[in-house]
Amino acid sequence: MTIDLTSIDLRDIGIRLLFIIALLAGLWLLRRILAWMMMRFVRRVLFRRAEETLYDRAKIVVSTATQLIFLAATLFIIEIFVDFDTAGRLVLTRLGRTFLIVAFAFLLYRIFAILSVDRNQLYHLTGINLDDALLPFIRVGLQVVVIVFALVIIIQEWGYDVSAIIAGFGLGGLAFSLAAQDTIANLFGFSMIVGDRPFNVGEYIKTPDVEGTVEYVGVRSTRIRQLDQALVTVPNKQLANSVIVNWSRLSKRMVNFTMRVAPDTNKADLEHLLESIRAMLASRERVDPKSVVVYFTSFSETGFELLIRCYVSIADWTEFQGEREAINLEIMRIFSEVFKHTGAYAQVIPFKALVNYGSNEPTTPTPIQSEDK
């Protein structure tokens, strides 16, 4: 690669060199102006809602990208004003285009890195709200896409057939994809768990396969501590495809059971009993008064059945048990007061032992379904 000096004199060489130097100086000045305009745009659009460190990172990215563009422009100028042979011109042209591709790829690569530093910064800049655990995967995925596209364009720019290269890796890629399909499925499961957030670490969940407290959510699997303290490791793909009940996100719990009173209870005592239980439940601080349901629902061979139901504004299971115990004791007290002269009894279903309030008379209970949630 040599300059052809046979067709031009030294004066022409000097003029061309001066012209090239002037163009390079102009390009350098243009680069500074372009960088200043880009940073002004960044400051106007981004800096109002971002921190100073973000602006500093963006400044470095813009400076590097404009330097690469300046280098590409320099190669184009040399290719135009210096007399190279055809092969030399082709190499300079391809080098210049390569630097332009690298400049824009670097710009996109670094922009994705800057915008996905943390979820608050991403939300302030774009209005997109993502979980912190998803940001590294999204950032790496976008950056890999940028790198792959840049490499494909550069390879094509230098005259190579990309499809032939891809076909060469086809068999190996197929084997790799088959071997890694479980890992990829678990990665997608992790992204769905983190994105949808059906549970967090420390919450109590139930699935068709496992029930317990979530201790760890990893990229491949999730660890759950059961009530018997056994630690269960569940693949994320299996967990993502399961029906998940999150008991820790209850805003309230339901007290729901059926009681049976003796068949010889008179109408006045039964009405007094129902009203007393309703008033007691409605007066409790943690009970939602609008949810109180106390009704005489049906007859049976062994007595009259009463449905008692209400919602308690307690999410914690242990605290809820204490409130339910207090409600049961209050109901016992009400039965004792209402039936203290008659000796009537009440049976709580489905307990197999008679709950007798105000009387020692034994009775054989009849099991009927009941529900406490």
**178-220 per-position pLDDT tens digit:** 656 777 777 788 878 877 888 888 889 999 999 999 998 887 8
Phi and psi, residue 147, nearest 5°? -65, -45
Percent of the chain with pLDDT over 70: 64
How far are the Cα atoms of 119, 181, 192, 195, 363 from residue 134, in angstroms, in the given order?
9, 20, 9, 7, 61
Highest-confidence segment of 116-125, 175-184, 224-233, 262-271: 224-233
Query: Of 240 and 57, which is predicted with more confidence?
Result: 240
Q: Whole domain around residue 224: which residue ranges? A: 197-248
Contact in structure between 306 and 294 (CB atoms under 8 Å): yes
Indicate if the pLDDT at residue 275 is higher than 90: yes
Identity of the residue numbered 366: T
- Supply 267's token pair: 């109408």
Q: Establish if 49 belongs to a structural domain.
A: yes
DSSP letter, residue 352:
S
Contacts of 227 (CB under 8 A, 6+ apart): 211, 212
Q: Residue 198 and residue 189: Cα distance in Å, rounded?
A: 12
Give Rg (Cα) of the chain.
39
Residues 79 and 120 placed together within one structural domain of the fold:
yes
Contacts of 165 (CB under 8 A, 6+ apart): 155
Rounded to 10 degrees, what is the CA torsion of 84, 87, 92, 97? 150
Residues 222 and 309 placed together within one structural domain of the fold:
no
Count: domains in the chain: 3
Residues 101 and 81 placed together within one structural domain of the fold:
yes
Residues 134 and 41 placed together within one structural domain of the fold:
yes
Q: Residue 277 and residue 79: Cα distance in Å, rounded?
A: 96
Q: How confident is the model at residue 15 (pLDDT cuts 50, 70, 90)?
A: low
Percent of the chain with pLDDT over 90: 20
Q: What is the pLDDT of residue 359?
A: 38
Other beta carbons within 10 Å of 102: 18
Q: What is the pLDDT of residue 341?
A: 66
Contact in structure between 48 and 110 (CB atoms under 8 Å): no
Q: Establish if 78 belongs to a structural domain.
A: yes
Listed residues 147, 168, 189: the one ending a domain: 168
